[in-house]
Structures are given as C-alpha cells and as structure tokens.
Structure 1
Amino acid sequence: MKNSKNIYDFDQNEIKKKLTSYFRNNKANINKFGNRVNQTFEAYVFADTISRYRKNNWNIEIINPTQKKGIKIFKLKFSTNGLPNNYSYARCEKGRQKCQIRHQLRIRTYADEDGSANLCCDIAVIEDMDLSGYTSFDAVENKYLKAFGEVKHMAAYAELISSFKGLVSELAPNSLDGKYKRNHVKPFLFVSGMIYRSAEGIIYTFKKRKYAFEIISYKLMRKNGV
C-alpha cells in the first residue's frame, strides 16, 4: 500500500480548527465537525461550497435548527437519515435569486415519477424552499436542484470518476450536454487525495466531450497553494 502521506494532505485537527473559526458566528465548536476523517472532510467541502458562493457575491446566512428551550445550535448532517430541518444549512441571496446549500439531502432523480427513485447528495444546492414538513425519507423534487456535490475521502481512480458520471446522468443530465445552472457551481466530485493517472485520462476525455461538471482534488489545491 502506498504511503498515505503521498496520497492525502488532509489534516483533520487543522481543518477542524479552521472550520470552528469559519463558523464562529454560529457558535460552532470543534466537536461539531465529525469524529471520523471523512465526516470532517464533508464539513470542509460544505464550507468550501459556501465560500464559492460568497466569492461570487452571494449574501450568505447560516440557518441553524432550534433545539430544546428555543436555543439554536450549529449541527451538520453526517447521516442519510434525519429530518432536513434539524440540521444547519446556508441560505444564499443575490439580487432576486435565492438558494440553499444543504448537507446530506435526498433529491429525486431526473426521471423519477413517484419519489421512489432518489439519491442522498453529500452537498445539494436547491431553490430556497420550506423543508419543515419533510421526513427523513422524503426527497426534494429534481426541478428544484441547482447543483450537487459528491464528497470522497480517498484518491480519485478511473472507476470512481466514471461512476460519478453516472450520478450526474441521474440527477443533472443536462450537464452531459455542457449545460448547468448559471450563477451556480457546477455538479462536482471533491476528493481529498491525489488523482491517479488513469483518472486523469478519463477527466481529459470528459473535457473533450464538454461535460459541465468538475472533479476537484484537495491535495492538488494544497499543492497549488489554493
């Protein structure tokens, strides 16, 4: 097995401290960002997605759920189960446009007819809407989806890249025609590790076909000083 230090540059403790600072106005503490490394990486990508909207001149408000005694707390959703409005999310506004950035939200597929065909997205950008009546198993209609992200704490290999294309075809097939929701991020796969050569080859063919989705590597971002 290759030395993990050559594959990942993701320091969980360092990132937890940065996330605590990033969400300090929401009284988030270091324990809010997961015990497992993959959970912390999901929290990092959630924050990174918010930052991408902020850099594109969207106004951001973090909405926190109300707990017992009327106290609002910062809480991320590290499971496919759970009522959506029991967890924190970002509300974004730019002019007349409004959207939400959610963590682990169920979305109906593009071809779904009755709600039974749905996928739980690690990151979901949807229209600004009321999800207070949604149960753990309810899925947001696909027409409200603006973008989505898949998060993997691993290196990117050819099969992983190819399987992500399958997710895009189910959730945002227009991206395979080079189209995506303007003013929003493109559908993306965000990996913590390196991109193997075989995966780079697949990505190259995706670009030739002008697919409108992204493959992002945290390790590569660090290497380039991003």
Structure 2
Amino acid sequence: MSSPFKDKKLLISSINKFLDKHESFIRNQGDRICDYFEMKCFNDAVLFYKNNGFSVEPKNLNANEFVYKLQPSGHPENFSFFEVIGQRKFELHHNLAIESSLSKEIYYTPDISIIEKDSIVKRKVNSYYSGKRDFSFCNSESLQTFIEVKHMHPFPELLFNFTGLLINFMPSVAGTSSSGEKSNRHLAPSLALSGNGSYHSEKIKEAIEKNYNANIFFGLFNRYSQIYSKRYTQSCISSKLLTIDVVGDDVDDLPF
C-alpha cells in the first residue's frame, strides 16, 4: 500500500499556483502536512465548480492574502472564502459549523462546505461559550454539500462514521442516486482521503456509494485530480436554486 504522506513543499507549491491564478497568495499559516492537504482539497472543490460552468471569486482577502480557516474556532468574517457564482450565488467555506438537520443547537464542523450566499447566522447559543458570546454557524437547510478531509489511510470505522454525518446533516442523500444532469449540480457530500484503501475498505466504499449519493475518494496523493477532473466520475446532487451551462474542458489540472 502506498504511503499517504507527501512532501509539504509540493503541496505548498500547488496551493500557491492555484491562488496565483486568483491574484492572491497564501498567508504563512499552518505547519502540518494535514493542513496543507486540507487547503489543497479546498482548492480542488473550487476547481470542481469552475469545471462545471460556475464563476468563482475569492472574498474577504487580507491585504491580498487568502486566509484559510484551519480550525473550527474563530468567526468566519475573519477568514477568506470563495463565492461560487451562477444564476444564484453560493459560498465555499473552510471549517464552518453546520447545525444538524435532526436537532437544533447540535453542530458539526465539516472541513469544507458550500452554502447559500449570506446564510451564516451569528448569535448566542447555550451550547457554546455558555451562551455569553456570539457563535457563527449555518442552518442545515442552507447547506448545499460538504467535504470531510482526512490525511490518512481509510479504515472501516472512519468510513462508517461518514455515513453518520450524512444522516445527521444531509439525510436527503440516503438511498438516492447521482444526478444525471450535468448542469444545475453540486458535488455530492464527500470524504477525501490521502491514502489508498485495502480490499476490504474498497468494498465498504462501494457499498456506501451504492446506498448514499456520496463520494469517497481514496489515494488523493496519487490520483490528485479525482475531486474536480472529468477524467474521474463524481457523484453529484442537483440544486433547485441554480441553472448553469457546463464548460467543456478541465482547468487548472495541476499535479503536486
């Protein structure tokens, strides 16, 4: 089994090349390779939308620096994000809390999420800071999709835990098939892993993708463009809020 580890310098180079195309550059933040892998997957999500006819634009830069939100703590207004633009506008965020679709005031922070524009709520909630400070989150109704990123090899407990996130935060994907339309679509909820899986992990992956409209990406250090390239098959979910035309060719297909 190949190693899930990668030279940090290669990841940083890939991130900087991506941001350079958007006339921005990375702030010197994070020192762990898992942080840079998470940034790379965030950029890959942006490329998915570019390759499917959306316009994308970085927002909330700090002196032309794109500030990734590498921890669940902190208010979103202090960090950068991408606006995803079609006939309607969405926002692609990093480590934004999402409220459960099953119970109020229960939250989970996916590594990457795409939400309706201007749908972040900021208010005091009893379950955070004892209700004494504002807490920023997005209601599950405004969540379009999410990506959970793990810098590791897949294993059964991790894969089955992902189905719990689907049930609690996007239950509509259970028992559904991938959208056949190439327009009007988002990437289905996804689990992105740097390492490759064993035979058993591959069987679990197949079973989950069969029973949920979701993606599980193995080996992103070796097959780096799985999230965004049309050379690979991604499950997608339709958005009733947006109609777009699809571009024909991949963009920014950068190895690292």
Shorter-chain TM-score bucket reads 0.7 to 0.9
* Deviation of the 1:8 alpha carbon: 1.8
Of the candidates 27, 31, 34, which is equivalent to residue 35 of structure 1? 31
Of the candidates 43, 51, 55, which is equivalent to residue 55 of structure 1? 51
Deviation readout 1:171-226 (Å, 9 max, x if unpaired) = 101111216785111000000111122211112222443x1000012045159998
Gaps of 5+ in 2: 124-132, 232-254
Distance 1:171 1:180, change over 3 A: farther
Of the candidates 72, 96, 107, which is equivalent to residue 98 of structure 2? 107
Distance 1:103 1:170, change over 3 A: same
Of the candidates 6, 14, 20, which is equivalent to residue 10 of structure 1? 6
Partner of 1:160: 158
Work out the CA distance in 1 between the residues paired with 2:115 and 2:98. Answer: 9
Letter in 2 for 1:15: L
* Deviation of the 1:64 alpha carbon: 2.2
Partner-residue secondary structure (3-state), 2:158: helix
Partner of 2:111: 122
Question: Is 2:121–2:136's contact at 8 Å kept on the other side of the alignment?
Answer: no
Distance 1:74 1:219, change over 3 A: closer
* Deviation of the 1:157 alpha carbon: 1.1
Partner of 2:170: 172
Task: Report the TM-score when normalising by structure 1.
Answer: 0.85
Distance 1:82 1:136, change over 3 A: farther
* Deviation of the 1:7 alpha carbon: 2.2
Work out the CA distance in 2 between the residues paired with 1:18 and 1:222. Answer: 11
Distance 1:223 1:48, change over 3 A: closer
Q: Percent identity?
A: 23
Letter in 2 for 1:195: G
Q: More helix per residue: 1 or 2?
A: 1
Letter in 2 for 1:44: K
Kindly report the root-mean-square deviation, in angstroms, between the aligned alpha carbons of the 2 structures: 2.5
Distance 1:30 1:158, change over 3 A: same
Distance 1:180 1:62, change over 3 A: farther
Work out the CA distance in 2 between the residues paired with 1:169 and 1:205. Answer: 16
Work out the CA distance in 1 between the residues paired with 2:198 and 2:134. Answer: 36
Partner of 2:147: 149
Deviates more, 1:98-107 or 1:179-188: 179-188
* Deviation of the 1:133 alpha carbon: 4.6
* Deviation of the 1:136 alpha carbon: 6.5
Name the count of aligned residue pairs: 213
Question: Is 1:81–1:136's contact at 8 Å kept on the other side of the alignment?
Answer: no
* Deviation of the 1:9 alpha carbon: 5.4
Partner of 1:97: 88
Work out the CA distance in 1 between the residues paired with 2:139 and 2:221. Answer: 34
Deviates more, 1:35-44 or 1:7-16: 7-16
Gaps of 5+ in 1: none
Residue 216 (structure 1) aligned with residue 217 (structure 2): yes
Q: Larger relative CO (CA 8 A, sep 6+): 1 or 2?
A: 2
